[in-house]
Structure 1
Amino acid sequence: MIQIFCAKRGAGKSKKLIELANDRALIAKGDSVYIDDDGRRMRQLIGKIRFINTNELGVLDCDSFYGLICGIISQNYDVENVYVDALSNIINKNIPDSINLFKKLKEFSQKYNINIFINLNCECMEDLPDFIKEHVA
């Protein structure tokens, strides 16, 4: 399952995603991973959640981001939830241009039974492409 949270920059998406991650980690049977483009929020997560800073790993585009997701799961099949904060900052691309990434993530999440929660900055919900709208919470 993919669930996308969209709102304007500064609307509190990151805070809500952290709360969701912390709450779900307490009841999840599997492991949780939180991915962000910097380390500012690392200390806000409970210790059960693995934090990954994409800037430290050289993740710069859709292909390297998808490779990171594949690497996480190949290393740990017990991952149940993946939280991605500010995806557009991580992949350095306009979200409408990332249709192939979302197709791959959808297939991947279904194949490995993983929940993927993604924060996106967007000014206008009507401007989102359909492949995003189908996953918006």
Structure 2
Amino acid sequence: MIQVFCNKRGSGKTKELISLANRNVLTEKGNSVFIDDDSRCMLQLDKKIRFISTSELELMSYDSMYGFLCGIISEDYDIENIYIDGLCNIVNCEIEDAAHLLYRLEELADRLGINVYISINHENETPDFIKKYNKYELVAN
């Protein structure tokens, strides 16, 4: 399953993603991985959640991001949840280019029984290809 939090900067996506990860780790049987482009939120996460900062990994395309995620999954077959904070910050591409990655991730997640939660900063209306993954809208405080 894939769930996307797509909204404007400052709307609470990161806070919600961290909260979701910390809630899920209490009841899940598998492992969790939280991926971010920096390490600002690392100390807010439960210590059971593996944190990965991509700041020095140079993930330049959605294909490299997909390969990176496949590597993480192949290293740990017990992964149940993957949280990706700020996809467009990690992979410096346009949001429209993310459609192919989301479709590929959906197939992979469904086949392997993994939940993938992704936050995306987007200032305009949510693109149609993301709406099917956007379970609920976050409202800025």
Please indicate the TM-score interval, normalised by the length of the shorter structure: over 0.9
Is 1:61–1:90's contact at 8 Å kept on the other side of the alignment? no
1:93 corresponds in structure 2 to 93
5+ residue gaps, structure 1: none
Alpha-carbon separation, structure 2, partners of 1:41 and 1:60: 22
5+ residue gaps, structure 2: 136-141
1:119 corresponds in structure 2 to 119
2:139 corresponds in structure 1 to none
Per the TM alignment, residue 56 of structure 1 is displaced from its structure 2 partner at its CA by 2.4
Per the TM alignment, residue 21 of structure 1 is displaced from its structure 2 partner at its CA by 0.3
In the TM superposition, structure 1's runs of 4+ consecutive aligned residues that sit over 6 Å from their partners are none
1:49 corresponds in structure 2 to 49
Is 1:86–1:120's contact at 8 Å kept on the other side of the alignment? yes
2:59 corresponds in structure 1 to 59
Per the TM alignment, residue 44 of structure 1 is displaced from its structure 2 partner at its CA by 0.7
Could you report, residue by residue, the CA deviation over 1:104-136 in whole angstroms, capped at 9, with x for unpaired residues? 1111111111000010112233xx332211100
Amino acid at match of 2:47: G
1:131 to 123, 129, 132: 129
Total equivalences in the alignment:
135
Alpha-carbon separation, structure 2, partners of 1:2 and 1:88: 16
Alpha-carbon separation, structure 2, partners of 1:92 and 1:129: 18
**What is the TM-score of this pair, normalised by structure 2?**
0.91
How large is the RMSD of aligned CA atoms in angstroms? 1.0
| Partner SS, residue 43 of structure 1 | helix
Could you report, residue by residue, the CA deviation over 1:7-66 in whole angstroms, capped at 9, with x for unpaired residues? 210111101110100110111110000000011111110110000111122222211111
Of 49-58 and 70-79, the range deviating more from structure 2: 49-58
Higher helix share: 1
Q: Determine what percentage of the aligned residue pairs are the same residue.
A: 53
